[in-house]
Amino acid sequence: MGTEIRVNLGGIIHFSTIDWRGKAAIVIFLRRCPFRCIYCQNYNLLETDNYVDMEVIEEAIRDSEDFIDAVVLSGGEPFMQPEAIAAISKYARQRSLYLGVQTNGYYPEAIESLLDADAIDKIFLDVKAPLGGARYEELTKAHGASERVRETLEILLARDVDAELITTVFKNIVGAGEVKQIVEELHEMGATCYPYVIQQGRIERVPPDAGLSEANIFSYEELEELASLAYHTAPLKEVRIRTRERGEEVIYK
């Protein structure tokens, strides 16, 4: 039987091999987010609610469990619903499944608490822009965003958490200059131990009023160049690119 927890559910992908490299997962999207990035690919989840009983989540996991190794929570921003994460983690553990969470890093205290409770096996942290300066706040429209993301990264490092770091790129928004500065900052923080993923922005998923076009999309070859820039800027453990044509590939390790 389900718990009394209700989950603000955005949707479910019952089988994915691209959200957790090396694992097959069910991906559960949770609604609401403190950020308002102009290129948000799940903008339809930001401002509306769809609360369901925990039993709905449990049934979806049971329906998929013969084909998966893990549950991945995405959003929106999952850590806006820490009680839901804890309940889903408990059920995943009962079914011998790993739990990973994709996060923008804005809620370090919730992340720390759930990590300390051993509720999470992996964190996928978006690093949207350089952590120094005002660019983060400009992109996210969220006060103190860069400081909170930096604090989240420090928590991951202190606890030796399995994690990967992801930057989504669009020309004239987040490009070579930003990637180089992000990687330099990761090096300064001692965070080059994590795989770094450069993700191709997808124009078909952004809000129609974002003012973006195909001209803002990096080509596969240009993403390879960004990967080379990242790898030669700091001693990263691994650099990957993620594209709509080829999925995720390791470029340097």
Q: Is residue 4 part of a domain?
A: yes
Instruction: Identify each DSSP E strand in the chain by its residue range.
Output: 6-16, 25-30, 51-53, 70-75, 98-103, 122-126, 163-169, 195-200, 238-243, 247-252
User: In terms of domains, do 205 and 93 share one?
Assistant: no
pLDDT band of 1, cuts 50, 70, 90: very low
Question: Can you tell me the mean pLDDT for 59-74?
Answer: 97
Question: Can you tell me the mean pLDDT for 23-35?
Answer: 97
Q: Tell me which DSSP letter residue 79 carries.
A: G
Q: Is residue 58 part of a domain?
A: yes
Q: How many structural domains does the chain have?
A: 2
Residue span of the structural domain in which 95 resides = 1-124
pLDDT digit string, tens, across residues 185-214: 999 999 999 999 999 998 888 888 888 999
User: In terms of domains, do 70 and 167 share one?
Assistant: no
Q: Is residue 51 part of a domain?
A: yes
Contact between 127 and 167 under an 8 Å Cβ cutoff? The reply is yes
Minimal CA–CA distance to 198: which of 172, 222, 233, 234?
Answer: 222
Choose one of 100, 124, 148: the last residue of a domain. 124
Question: Can you tell me the mean pLDDT for 143-162?
Answer: 97
Q: What percent of the chain has pLDDT over 70?
A: 99
Across all residues in the chain, what is the average pLDDT? 95
Question: Can you tell me the mean pLDDT for 126-140?
Answer: 93
Q: Is residue 25 part of a domain?
A: yes
Supply the pTM of this predicted model. Answer: 0.95
Q: pLDDT at residue 65 above 80? A: yes
**Number of alpha carbons in the 13 Å side-chain half-sphere of residue 9:** 18
Q: Is residue 67 part of a domain?
A: yes
List the CATH number of the domain containing 91: 3.20.20.70
User: In terms of domains, do 112 and 3 share one?
Assistant: yes
